[in-house]
Amino acid sequence: MTYVDCRRMACLLIVSALLIPVALLPGCIGHPENKPTVTVSIQPQKYMLEQIVGDKWDVKCLLGNGANPESYDPSMTHLLNLEKSKAYMRIGNIPFESAIINKVNNNNPGLRLYDTSEGVALIKGTHARDGASAEADEIDPHTWTSVRNVKKIASNMYEAMVEIDPANKGYYSRRFRTFLRSLDSLDTAVDSILAPCRGDAFMVWHPSLSYFARDYGLRQIALSPEGKEMSVEDVGRAVEAARRDSVRVMFFQKEADSRQAQTVNAQIGSEVVEINPLDYDWKGEMLNIAKAIAAGHRHE
């Protein structure tokens, strides 16, 4: 073989080596991994469901970060994502969920619907102001702010996924059991942190921690049960209650109007702690809330 022939052979080998990946590339692009979709209402649900489904499903969430579930109006994009989903897992008892169910169900009659708070011992009347009868029977929707409730919520999610996708039951079962063990550990940790605080009161703008308080023997004082601006009389009553119950911690959600909360706090001198019970980092929020209450107790 001549020198020229060798050069030609080498060039052909180089070109072939370059063309092989290019030839394979269209096949890769043409067949992307299309995961089936399931939609949930809030970010903590997304966190919980992803612990169970792993990489098998794409979990979409209707409520974005910073949105208020009390006044949320889903965008057209969110509704279209929901209509394309295999299932919708609501947290239950949040007004916007009920408002969209019929519309979405009409557009996608095959959409599977699940209430993931089914079976949870519900609390009523936390949104009532001074025993107002109109809200006395209203269900507190913040079920996910209880680690013990989340064990039931996760169980409902697991059973729903097995119904939707029975072929992957073993995969979901292993992940579900692992998640339950982590919830048991979290509950033990929070219970230990709050053990010295039994009977303590804390203040919060909106009554979002009712189930948390029930779990660990605490008392929640809500500044604005209805989430609305307070009257002068309401502010006075809140200050009186906080002083009477030696409140040392005031939890504040960033989407709420801070002015009145600051007015109350200026008169009672509590520690203001910003929380986000709707954050994806649900586990971190539960620990932060417990640590803030314990810190307030130590400074009494």
Taking all residues of the chain, what is their mean pLDDT, rounded to a whole number? 84
Flag whether pLDDT at 200 surpasses 60. yes
Q: Are 198 and 217 within 8 A, CB to CB? A: yes
Q: Are 279 and 255 within 8 A, CB to CB? A: no
Classify strands 112-115 and 201-204 as parallel, antiparallel or unpaired: unpaired
Q: Which of 200, 249, 256 is nearest to 226 (CA)?
A: 256
Q: How far is CA 244 from CA 170, 237, 248, 263, in A?
A: 54, 10, 11, 17
- H or E element: which one contains 37? strand 37-40
169-194 helix and 43-53 helix, angle to the nearest 10 degrees: 130
Q: Give residue 155's pLDDT.
A: 98
What are 63-115's pLDDT values in tens digits? 877 677 777 777 777 788 788 899 999 999 898 898 888 778 788 888 999 99
Flag whether pLDDT at 54 surpasses 50. yes
Q: How far is CA 158 from CA 60, 144, 177, in A?
A: 17, 16, 10
Flag whether pLDDT at 225 surpasses 90. no
pLDDT band at 253 (very low <50, low <70, confident <90, very high): confident
- What strands, in cross-sheet order, belong to the sheet with 112-115? 58-61, 37-40, 87-90, 112-115
Tokens read off for 122: 């519900």
Q: What is the pTM of this model?
A: 0.84
Q: How many CB atoms lie within 10 A of CB 277?
A: 21
Q: Give residue 2's pLDDT.
A: 52
